[in-house]
Every structure is written in structure tokens, then in C-alpha cells.
Amino acid sequence: MGRIASNIVSTVSLMLMLDDPERRHEKLLLRFVQLGIDYYGVTQSDNDLWRANGGHNSGRKMPILFAGVLLGHGGMKHVRASFAEDEQTYDGQGYRGQKALWTIDRSESRRHEHLPPQRWDGPPFQGENNGWKSEAYRRLNGPTWIGQALAARLLGAKGCWNHDAFFDYVDRWVAEADAGTVERETGRPAAYDPFAGAGDFVRAMWQAYRPKAEEIGARLSEL
């Protein structure tokens, strides 16, 4: 369910960035803004609910920021709470030179990308909670974050998001597709489709707007 919810948020947040002169998406816009308001209300009663946890809890921050930008609400634009996307991305030194890294949860003992795959079965990991399990969840989450990161940039809300490692990681996720991720069976990198599961719409939006996302976002933030 976590992956599905995050994919929906990615797709909807990008859909609502498109021109809509006939107002076909007005009901969707109202409901998405209301979702952001509701999620923000949740953070006011429990700000540690959506912590990093494998494939769960992504997709909650984007609706809040989206609603905050549209409504000009400072609390929502600068919401402070536990969000999986932020707790699962951090700046570091990866085993093959990566700078923006991913982790399955917020405990340092579960981080795996700073270690070579040959060490993902041993210490500091315990049993099946090893680096290979974390890598599987990394691949599960990757496609679901693309649309959210792009929409936040297009909104001019990257600064409000206030966690650059998330955006750097998403850029890395897409860029590394040809280099591949390590397959446990072979121990060798295998190419992957970074948009698998995200859909052709998210792919098309990324290809069309990622190169100029900052420029568009800067113009919107001045309105």
C-alpha cells in the first residue's frame, strides 16, 4: 500500500501542475489540497508518525507542501515532522562514489550503501535485516519519489521542503539507471528502468521539465 499511495501522490501532484483551462481537474485539486490540510492536522497531533520504515509512509509531505504553497500557509509550507523521504535519504560516501544515499530506516546500523555488496550479508546487519533487504526496498521506493521531487521543484518549493538530499537522491536514482543496481544472484550491476511502476506520464513529465524545473519554480515563487 505504501508504494501505491506514494505513486498516486507523485502522479497527482504533477497532473495538477499542468494547464487546465477547462477546469477538468478542479475537483481533484480541491481534494488534493484538502488531503494536505488533513495531513498537516495529523502532524500537529503526532509529528513522529510517518517515520522511515521500508516501503511504508512515503507520500505524506508533498500534499502538505502543495496545499501550503497554494494557500500561502506558512505552517504547511515549512511543516516539521517525520517523513520517510527525508529520513531515508542523506549525504554520504557510497561504495561506488555516490553522494546522496538511501537507508531503510533511521537507525545507522541499517545503512548499507556506504558498504560494498560483499558486506551486505554480515555485520553490522542482523539476520535477514541485511543490506540486500535494504537494497530491495530502495528499488521499490525509487520510482514512487520521482514525481514528487519534480513537482516540488516546479512549485518552487524545494527550499520549503528543506532536505536537499531527497532531491539529490532522486536525480541520482534516475541518472544511474544504465549503470544499474547490483543483483544478488550474480553480484553484478544490471540496468533498470527508473520509471518502472511510476508510469509513462511521470516519465514524460520528467523528461520534459526536469531540465528547466528550477527556472519554472523560481518564476512561480515570485508570483
Q: How many of the other CB atoms lie within 10 Å of CB of 49?
A: 14
Q: What is the pLDDT of residue 140?
A: 94
Confidence tier at 205 by pLDDT (50, 70, 90): very high
Query: What tens digit of pLDDT does each residue of 9-56 get?
Result: 999 999 999 999 999 999 999 999 999 999 999 999 999 999 999 999
β partners of residue 100: 91
For residue 169, the model assigns a pLDDT of 98
pTM value? 0.96
Fill in the amino acid letter for 87: E
Burial of 22 (0-12, 13-18, 19+ CB in 10 A): exposed
Residues in the chain: 223
Q: What is the predicted pLDDT for the residue at 188?
A: 87
Crossing angle of the two packed helices 213-221 and 131-155, in degrees rounded to 10:
50
The residue ranges of every structural domain in the chain are 2-221
